[in-house]
Amino acid sequence: MQNLVIVESPTKARTLQKYLGDQYQIEASMGHVRDLPKSDFGVDVEHDFEPQYVIPRDKRKMVNQLKKVAELAKNLWLATDPDREGEAIAWHLGKVISEKGGMGQEIKRVIFHEITEDAIKEAFKNPRQINLKLVDAQQARRVLDRLVGYKLSPLLWQKVKKGLSAGRVQSVALRLIVEREREISAFKAVEYWVIEAELSKHLRGETGVAPSAHLGGEVKEAFIATLIEQNGKKLAIKNEQSSYEKNQRFFIRNKEEADGHVANLAKASYVVSKITQKEVRRYPYPPFTTSTMQQGAANRLGFSAKKTMMLAQALYERGLITYMRTDSFNLAPSAIVSARNYIGQKFGKAYLPSAPRLYKSKSKNVQEAHEAIRVTDVKRQSSDIRQQGGLNRDHVRLYDLIWKRFLACQMSEAVLDQTTVDVQAHLRGEPKVSSGAHLGGVTYLLRATGSVIKFEGWLKLYGKEAEENEDEKKQLLPSLSENQPLNLIQLLPSQHFTEPPPRYTEATLIKKLEELGIGRPSTYAPILSTIQDRFYVEKQERKFVPTSLGFAVTDFVVKYFPDIVDYSFTAQLEDELDEIARGEREWRPTIREFYTPFEKKLEETAQDAEKVKMVVEYAGKKCPECGKELIVRIGKFGKFLACSGFPDCRHTESIEETINIKCPEDGGEIVVRKTRRGKTFYGCKNWPVCKFASWTKPKASKQS
CA pair distance 580, 669, nearest whole angstrom: 58
CA pair distance 556, 79, nearest whole angstrom: 44
- Candidates 47, 127, 50, 32; CA nearest to 88 is 32
Q: Count the Cβ atoms, other than its own, within 10 Å of residue 668.
A: 16
Rounded to a whole number of angstroms, the CA Rg of the chain reads 32
Examine the residue annotation and report whether 323 is marked as an active-site residue of this protein.
Answer: yes
Alpha helix locations (H) across 561-669?
Answer: 567-581, 587-608
Task: Compute the CA torsion angle 171, 176, 178, 180 (nearest 10 deg).
Answer: 180
Residues 6+ positions from 498 with CB-CB distance below 8 Å: 189, 190, 192, 239, 241, 245, 248, 250
CA pair distance 170, 530, nearest whole angstrom: 7
Residues 6+ positions from 153 with CB-CB distance below 8 Å: 164, 165, 166
CA pair distance 151, 462, nearest whole angstrom: 48
Residue 402 burial (10 A CB sphere; 0-12, 13-18, 19+) = buried
Distances (CA, A) of 26 to 16, 123, 470: 8, 15, 52
Residue 464 CA, distance from chain mean position: 21
User: What angle (nearest 5°) sits at the alpha carbon of residue 409, between those of residues 403 and 412?
Assistant: 120
CA pair distance 427, 262, nearest whole angstrom: 12
Q: Count the Cβ atoms, other than its own, within 10 Å of residue 46.
A: 7
Looking from the CA of 35 toward its CB, the CA atoms found within 13 Å total 17
Residue 445 burial (10 A CB sphere; 0-12, 13-18, 19+) = buried
Contact status, residue 189 vs residue 241, Cβ threshold 8 Å: no
Residue 638 burial (10 A CB sphere; 0-12, 13-18, 19+) = middle
CA pair distance 522, 200, nearest whole angstrom: 56
CA pair distance 12, 9, nearest whole angstrom: 5
What does the H/E/C string look like for 454-494? EECCCHHHHCHHHHCCCCCCCCCCCCCCCCCEEEEEEEEEE
> Side chain identity at 20, as an amino acid letter?
L
SS3 543: strand
The single residue of 270, 323, 524, 595 carrying the catalytic annotation is 323
Starting at the earlier edge strand, list the strands of the sheet with 3-7: 24-28, 3-7, 75-78, 107-109
- Give the containing element (helix H, strand E) for 496: strand 485-497
Contact status, residue 244 vs residue 500, Cβ threshold 8 Å: yes
Q: Count the Cβ atoms, other than its own, within 10 Å of residue 74.
A: 10
> Side chain identity at 475, as an amino acid letter?
Q
Residues 6+ positions from 265 with CB-CB distance below 8 Å: 195, 197, 227, 425, 427, 444, 488, 491
Distances (CA, A) of 409 to 48, 144, 282, 286, 316: 48, 38, 12, 5, 20
Contact status, residue 578 vs residue 518, Cβ threshold 8 Å: no
Catalytic residues, by residue number, are 323
